[in-house]
A and B are shown apart, each in its own frame.
Chain A
Amino acid sequence: MKKIEVEKLGKVFGKPSRQVLSLLDQGWDRERLMKEKGFALGLWDVSFSVEEGEILVVMGLSGSGKSTLIRCLNRLIEPTAGSILIDGTDVRGLNEAQLREFRQTRFGMVFQRFALFPHRTVIQNVAYGLEIHGESKDTCRKKAEDALALVGLKGWEDNYPDQLSGGMQQRVGLARALAIDPGILLMDEAFSALDPLIRKEMQEELLQLQSRVGKTIVFITHDLDEALKLGDKIIILKDGRLVQQGTPEEILTNPADDYVEKFVEDVDMSKVLTASSIMKKAYSITWPKDGPKTALREMEEVGISSIFVVDRKRLLLGIVNADDASELIRKGISDLKEILKEPSRVTPDTSLTELFALESFPAAVVDESGVLKGAIVRGNIIAGLNRER
């Protein structure tokens, strides 16, 4: 089931009449609406959906409506039009008490400038949402401690926020959102106030955390590198309207208009493209079932001079080349073990820049558990770069 489904969402500030809203459907833009009717357009005609466990990145320049969008989801800003379904429930139909309950249990929000309560200790900050929901003291303490451990801040419970660095403060912000165990994390430019190195680190950690806790995340940013790194899906807003949505690759390779192109052109392709996006099928034989003769025949068939060797679970064991294999046949030995060599190993998200630096090809692309996923030959890298430029 879809976790979040947003249909024709709109926000016009002030109290616009139906007739004013219909002008927007006729294609009036923000500037014209302001000039001729005096209403400020926040968002118009924005539709998208997010699957459970997915990270959706909302991108746009400042003033494009991203902050309005994320605040419409939990009605910190009251939408003017459209529908928002969370787990199938219409958020706009909730009354005040239901909305509070919804916010207490479904949404964890993380803010750009952290918004930690300066008069509360770290653990009291993290427990805030639980306290509001009326959990017992013990439950609050326990869940808050768990959340703090999750973001790596064990031992800082009794400090005050202003005793922590920016990066650590935002971890507290993240822990506060995670403590209530919400289905959805709303992250409003959560890493924008951090310096670049810490920011990279937090992005990595968010991805790791995501793989463990599996939250659905709506992440707002104006930074394309961040969007590409985090997003399973990206939507791009301009002047309150949606201009493109798609996977990072789709947006890179096929920008919808000049606005998107402007974002995209600054990206260093060699950093964005990863091993997984340019790797080819890896040819392999299975040890101990296959011997040197099978290896040679396989290589001849597809026209390559070396082949990967895996075990029955497709765990990579090594690589053998054609010369060594024929030598083995001449000697009458059938076990490949003797001629196994260690190939270069890379992970699926190794960047193109790092691939350039490899010394031997083909390189094997393996996942964390060592299973062979694909192969990279030097030609792929060059082709990959050219394709994108």
Chain B
Amino acid sequence: MTIPKLPLGEAIEAAIDFLTENFSFITKAVSNVVENANEVLVENLEKIPPMVLILLIALLAWRLAGRRIALFSVAGLALIWNLGLWGATMATISLVIAATLVAISLGIPIGIASALFPLVNRIVLPILDLMQTMPAFVYLIPAIPFFGLGPVSAVFSTVIFAMPPAIRLTDLGIRQVPKELIEAADAFGSSRLQKLLKVQLPLARPTIMAGVNQTIMLSLSMVVIAAMIGAGGLGSEVWKAIQRFKPGMGFEAGLAVVIIAIIFDRITQKITHQGKTH
């Protein structure tokens, strides 16, 4: 006796079809807004002369993370410029910024709700497990019918891929606030909101910032993968190199990704640790 295959895949396809047919006006609207915002961001980033932008980023790195990172930024970005990858890099950075902003502005509130309300926590946890273990490529497929090929689909799948750490670490940070401090806040008659704003969030800040750092790193890696659905940027340089079998070109684009990753990471990590000492 053979057990027939459960029509799980078919059901999901039907659901996606249903959603695209009936709700595509929403996704199209979102798509337009995000696309326009992203275009404006890319255009403006590209309008700034590379020299000026390099110095601006170096200055930012110097103020936030110290001299060594500032020097590294100048050298790294100059190399990217020299390799002729400046435009692609700007496209990637703007995608990362867009995806990160969406991911943390959804993720932090969800994390707070999950820490404060057990019911939310019970719903959110299994979804997060699913989001984190599902192979990243799978998110690319439904993005296309909803948002079409291009940067918006890339942002969408990147947000899904990069949001879990923001939620998890926000939740964790709030739970880790010592019980006696919560008790002290209660003993002085704090309301829930006062307790959240004056005690829980400030004390959870370093952990939340670590989550933001993770989200940025994951966004960067996903934005590269999303080149497969036409995200553009450094990912598409890598993608082209694979298709034409040009290991040198692929390596150059890969190196550019690494340089950006290091700059992002060090700057956000420094902000995280500043939070630990007041």
A-side residues, CB < 8 A to B, are: 74, 76, 99-105, 107, 109, 111, 113, 115-119, 128-129, 131-133, 160, 176, 180, 186
Contact = CB atoms under 8 A, between A and B. Distances in A.
B189 A102 contact: yes
Contacts of A176: 188
A268 B90 CA distance: 79
Range for the number of chain B residues in contact with chain A: 10 to 19
12 contacts: A76-B186, A104-B189, A111-B180, A115-B181, A115-B184, A117-B184, A117-B199, A117-B203, A128-B185, A128-B198, A132-B189, A160-B278
Contacts of B22: none
Contact of B278 (A76, A119, A128): A119
Interface in B154-199: 178, 180-181, 183-191, 194, 198-199
Given A119-B202, A119-B278, A76 B188 contact: no
Contacts of A113: 180
Task: Please report whether the interface of chain A is mostly helix, strand, loop or mixed according to DSSP.
Answer: mixed
B203 A119 contact: yes
Contacts, number: 57
Contacts of B186: 76, 103
Contact of B183 (A101, A115, A131): A115
B203 A129 contact: no
B180 A103 contact: no
A335 B115 CA distance: 84
Contacts of A103: 186-189
Given A113-B180, A115-B181, A131-B198, A107 B187 contact: yes
A176 B187 CA distance: 11
Contacts of A107: 187
Contacts of A105: 189
Contacts of A116: 184
Given A100-B189, A128-B188, A129-B188, A111 B194 contact: no
A176 B198 CA distance: 15
Given A111-B180, A113-B180, A132-B194, A118 B203 contact: yes
B183 A111 contact: yes
Given A113-B180, A131-B198, A180 B188 contact: yes
Contacts of A128: 185, 188, 198
Given A119-B203, A132-B194, A76 B189 contact: no
A100 B191 contact: yes
A140 to B, nearest CB: 13
A117 B181 contact: yes
Contacts of A132: 188-191, 194, 198
A217 to B, nearest CB: 15
A119 B187 CA distance: 18
A101 B189 contact: yes
Interface string B228-268: 00000000000000000000000000000000000000000
Contacts of B194: 132
Nearest to B186: A76
- Counting chain B CB atoms within 10 Å of each CB, the highest count among A104, A115, A118, A131 belongs to A115
